[in-house]
């Protein structure tokens, strides 16, 4: 014996579904517009600042991480709309400050951070209003991962870069001294018999450091289960990045001393790409080792 659902009930369910879809679009359309504006703002730095060229691929990785868990994100709907309006009030203040800052000073890295925080606030509130806290927890890492591609404020970024420049210059002088290459350090400049070699921002190692952090976070999220192993991967990746860049500086100085400045300039960019590739390989190998170590530990615990 079959039981038929009255037509009136079907119509009511369809209307409720249509209402939910319209409410969802009403919530998400301004949020998607804010996210698009953030990406438009960041593309300026991704294009102009060589240290942040990798930023183009970060949103794609974040989108993939959301896509990978999409069925889990949408499987349980317990919307919480309480934070939607306060988040937009906060974001409106952030957008207003950014617009005023840019009109008075021009493009700067600090307003990009303010814009990022305001945008992530409304994205988080919209996820809450659509699916609830469980969905937000699942989306938290992809959202925070976007901050890897946001340039640090100039006061912080400049201090880190200058410190790295001085450290790289000092260590290079020590290593070159063991190689019987006369070199004199003046700030972040190495003076050779054949000319001067300036260790600029790109040569400081900050780009390699950022790449290793991005890869460590991404690979850790994809392949490692525990936060301890993920933290170890990020730390070891950073330890790979610094000596790789130091090797680049020493090798370029060696070439400049023996072959001249023109020969050094000819291989400068190529060597940079080679070092970046080696860092990617190194972080990947470390992740593979940690993955097998973690897997073996789990197997031993299971057998015990």
**Residues near 181 by Cβ (< 8 Å), separated by ≥ 6?**
192, 253, 254, 257
- Which position has the higher pLDDT, 116 or 156? 116
Highest mean pLDDT among 42-56, 130-144, 167-181, 259-273: 130-144
Domain positions in the chain are: 7-150, 155-303
Distances (CA, A) of 67 to 108, 119, 122, 158, 252: 32, 20, 20, 36, 43
Q: Which of 125, 126, 6, 135 is nearest to 70 (CA)?
A: 135
Taking only the tens place, the pLDDT of each residue in 10-30 is 444 344 444 446 566 788 999
Model confidence at 106: pLDDT above 90: no
Taking only the tens place, the pLDDT of each residue in 115-138 is 999 999 999 999 999 999 999 999
DSSP three-state, residue 304: coil
Which pLDDT score, from 0 to 100, does residue 34 have?
Answer: 93
Which pLDDT score, from 0 to 100, does residue 304 have?
Answer: 62
**Residues near 83 by Cβ (< 8 Å), separated by ≥ 6?**
124, 125, 128, 129
Q: Which phi-psi region, left, alpha or beta, contains residue 184 (left: φ > 0; alpha: ψ -120 to 50)?
A: beta
Q: What is the mean pLDDT of residues 57-79?
A: 90
Highest mean pLDDT among 42-51, 114-123, 265-274: 114-123
Q: Which residues of 269-280 are buried (b: 16+ CB within 10 A; e: fewer)?
A: eebbeebbebbe
Q: What is the mean pLDDT of residues 147-155?
A: 85
Taking only the tens place, the pLDDT of each residue in 173-225 is 888 888 888 888 877 778 887 777 777 655 656 778 888 999 999 999 999 98
Taking only the tens place, the pLDDT of each residue in 46-66 is 988 877 888 899 999 999 999
Which pLDDT score, from 0 to 100, does residue 21 have?
Answer: 60
Q: What is the mean pLDDT of residues 97-120?
A: 88
Which pLDDT score, from 0 to 100, does residue 220 have?
Answer: 93
């Amino acid at each position: 014996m079959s039981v038929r659902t009255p037509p009136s009930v079907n119509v009511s369910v369809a209307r409720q579904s249509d209402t939910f879809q319209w409410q969802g679009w009403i919530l998400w359309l301004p949020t998607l517009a804010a996210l698009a504006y953030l990406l438009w703002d960041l593309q300026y730095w991704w294009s102009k600042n060589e240290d942040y060229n990798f930023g183009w691929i970060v949103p794609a990785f974040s989108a993939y991480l959301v896509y990978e868990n999409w069925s889990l994100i949408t499987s349980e709907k317990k919307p919480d709309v309480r934070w939607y309006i306060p988040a937009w009030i906060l974001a409106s203040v952030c957008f207003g400050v950014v617009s005023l800052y840019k009109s008075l000073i021009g493009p700067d890295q600090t307003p990009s951070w303010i814009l990022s925080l305001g945008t992530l606030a409304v994205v988080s509130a919209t996820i809450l209003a659509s699916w609830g806290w469980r969905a937000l927890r699942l989306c938290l890492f992809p959202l925070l991962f976007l901050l890897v591609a946001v340039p640090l404020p100039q006061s912080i970024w400049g201090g880190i870069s200058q410190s790295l420049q001085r450290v790289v210059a000092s260590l290079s002088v020590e290593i070159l001294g063991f190689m019987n290459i006369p070199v004199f350090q003046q700030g972040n400049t190495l003076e050779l018999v054949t000319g001067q070699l300036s260790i600029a921002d790109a040569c400081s190692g900050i780009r390699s450091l950022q790449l290793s952090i991005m890869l460590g976070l991404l690979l850790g999220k994809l392949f490692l289960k525990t936060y301890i192993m993920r933290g170890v991967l990020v730390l070891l990746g950073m330890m790979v990045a610094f000596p790789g860049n130091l090797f680049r500086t020493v090798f370029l100085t060696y070439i400049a001393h023996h072959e001249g400045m023109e020969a050094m300039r000819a291989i400068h960019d190529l060597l940079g790409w080679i070092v970046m590739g080696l860092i990617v390989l190194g972080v990947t190998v470390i992740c593979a080792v940690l993955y097998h170590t973690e897997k073996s530990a789990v197997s031993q615990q299971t057998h015990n």
